[in-house]
DNA sequence: CATAATGATACTATAATTGTATCATTTGTC
DNA sequence: GACAAATGATACAATTATAGTATCATTATG
């Protein structure tokens, strides 16, 4: 029952560091060193964040990444969506045979309710919030 | 972000069927047939449920399983715990380097809060409840 | 032009999940 | 008592997801 994968984890940690160097371009090399993470893996992650417009990238010598948004506008759910797909907890697991009443099922309602709650709560956690801790 | 694995899924579905045959001993063969699930896999699952005292088993010809508890006392969280370990969402993923303040961190508080909520909600879903749907 | 960075992408390794196979043991039936 | 049909226990195999590596092309800096 893992809510957050390592992709997301690394991404958040990197984003925090980048946010701390306000405006400075930070290279994967420095980040991997500072966070003690595998460099090629981290690189792949940052590239994905770039594609999704969370980071902005600069090529060439002394290139690297900066945030593409304010830290207060980057939320945990954004990152999770990128690396873990859409955060649906589960489809109804009785749908196949036993249960045909998708509309009125208490389990389904519970799952939906739980999902909403989790997303709402995680949606309040931003990079800026994490930095203030 | 999968909350429920297939183990749990199959287990719940089997438990629902067994519950419907109140008191009757049901064999894996019949269950696998009725639910259209792989028989050896389902068997392993039921054996685990037996070990955990959720099912009672009977050997020999015309053997099989019955519930060891009332359907109203078998909860989703019980099943999840068996197949998915203790349902902890995640440890603090900044703990290694950036963040040493495990006590006062908003992320940590959120995660704990979310975890509590999920468990509380799932803890209200019993086999009996599912049957009434 | 050399160097040091990212972009894109293919590949590999490891771990978790999902499922199978087998042999021993128990019990009802002929 | 022999046989069939069930579970107990356990080892093994296959599949999928996660985690991580490698490589080559491209771009910018000095
Ligand atoms: S169990 Fe099927 S809709 Fe709920
Ligand atoms: S980020 Fe570390 S305790 Fe919260």
Tell me the three-class secondary structure of B48-102, residue by residue.
HHHHCCCEEEECCCCCEEEECCCHHHCEHHHHHHHHHCCCCCCCCCCCCCCCCCC
What pLDDT was estimated at residue B100? 44
User: What atom in ligand 2 is closest to the CA of residue B100?
Assistant: 2
Q: In chain B, pLDDT over 90 holds for what percent of residues? A: 50
Q: How many degrees, rounded to 5, is the angle at CA B21 between CA B39 and CA A96? A: 50
Model confidence at B112, in pLDDT bands (50, 70, 90)? confident
Domains delineated in chain B: 6-86+126-132 (1.10.10.10)
Contacts of B77 (CB under 8 A, 6+ apart): B87, B119, B122, B123
Cross-chain Cβ contact A90/B3 below 8 Å: yes
Cα dihedral A70, A76, A78, A82 sign: positive
Q: Is the pLDDT of residue A64 over 90?
A: yes
Q: What are phi and psi of B66, to 5 degrees?
A: -135, 165
Residue B101 to chain A, least CA–CA distance (Å) = 8
CA distances for B86 relative to A30, B45, B77, B129, angstroms: 37, 17, 9, 23
Cross-chain Cβ contact A89/B4 below 8 Å: yes
pTM (whole model) above 0.95: no
Per-residue pLDDT reduced to its tens digit, B45-87: 999 999 999 999 999 999 999 999 999 999 999 999 999 886 5
Q: Is the pLDDT of residue B93 over 90?
A: no
Mutate to test the pocket of ligand 2, among B92, B110, B113, B114 (most ligand atoms within 8 A of CB): B92
Task: Decide whether any atom of ligand 2 lies within 6 Å of the B111 Cβ.
Answer: no
CA of B41, C1' of D13: distance in angstroms: 13
**What is the b/e burial string over A41-78, where b = at least 16 CB atoms within 10 angstroms of the residue's CB?**
ebbebbebbeeeebbeeeeeeeebbbbeeebeebbbbb
């Amino acid at each position: 029952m893992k809510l957050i994968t390592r992709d997301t984890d690394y991404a958040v940690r990197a984003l925090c560091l980048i946010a701390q160097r306000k405006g400075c371009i930070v290279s994967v090399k420095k980040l991997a060193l500072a966070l003690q993470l595998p460099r090629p893996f981290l690189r792949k992650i940052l590239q994905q964040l770039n594609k999704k417009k969370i980071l902005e990238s600069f090529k060439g010598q002394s290139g690297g990444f900066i945030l593409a948004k304010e830290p207060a506008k980057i939320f945990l759910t954004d990152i999770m969506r990128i690396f873990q797909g859409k955060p649906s907890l589960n489809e109804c697991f009785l749908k196949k045979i036993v249960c045909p009443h998708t509309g009125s099922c208490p389990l389904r309602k519970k799952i939906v309710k739980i999902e909403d709650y989790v997303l709402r709560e995680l949606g309040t956690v931003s990079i800026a919030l994490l930095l203030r801790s």
